[in-house]
């Protein structure tokens, strides 16, 4: 075996381990924007995200989840899970202009997500319930900024 191949094999194995960890176990994400105020900063948070609970169906209302945007599939979005399939969800249609509320039942195989700051959040109120398959993980810990370091406990209903 050539000398270069003995030194490159551990590097390849390391990259494979890194890929599998990132794809199937957990990752970090950077969030920014106003939609999750006051839970997350407008200027950005670095979050730890685990991917196991979405694969095993262990997410629940109140969890902060990341998912592929139904409008822009290349974009990953962070919102709070409000309802699971079969749940009845009541939401304010346009909080900036009226108090009109609608109630829907989340369809089979879908979830309802909303930003914590409803006045500036593009969420299920705009694009409807999202397919469960778009969920990529559950955020559980804030790494940065340091003042927010700690657990992201689910928000009770």
Can you give the pTM of this predicted structure? 0.88
Tens digit of pLDDT for each residue in 59-85?
Answer: 999 999 999 999 999 999 999 999 999
Catalytic residue among 23, 58, 69, 79: 79
Burial of 138 (0-12, 13-18, 19+ CB in 10 A): buried
35 assigned to active site: yes
Structural domain boundaries of the chain? 3-151
pLDDT in tens, 99-145: 899 999 999 999 999 999 999 999 999 999 999 999 999 999 999 99
98 catalytically annotated: no
| Tokens 């992201």 belong to residue | 152
Q: Which CATH class is domain 3-151?
A: mainly beta
* Catalytic site residue from 5, 7, 23, 35: 35
């Amino acid at each position: 075996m050539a000398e270069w191949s003995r030194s490159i094999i551990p590097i390849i194995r390391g990259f494979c381990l890194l890929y599998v960890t990132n794809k199937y176990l957990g990752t970090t994400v950077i969030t920014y924007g106003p939609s999750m105020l006051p839970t997350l900063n407008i200027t950005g948070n670095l979050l730890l995200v685990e991917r196991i609970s979405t694969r095993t169906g262990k997410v629940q209302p109140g969890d902060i989840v990341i998912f592929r945007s139904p409008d822009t599939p290349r974009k990953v979005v962070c919102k709070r899970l409000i309802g699971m399939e079969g749940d009845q969800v009541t939401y304010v249609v346009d909080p900036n202009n009226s108090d009109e509320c609608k109630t829907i039942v989340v369809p089979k195989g879908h979830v309802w997500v909303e930003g914590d700051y409803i006045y500036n959040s593009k969420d299920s109120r705009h694009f409807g319930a999202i397919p469960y398959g778009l969920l990529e993980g559950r955020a559980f810990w804030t790494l940065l900024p340091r003042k927010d370091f700690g657990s992201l406990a689910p928000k009770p209903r």
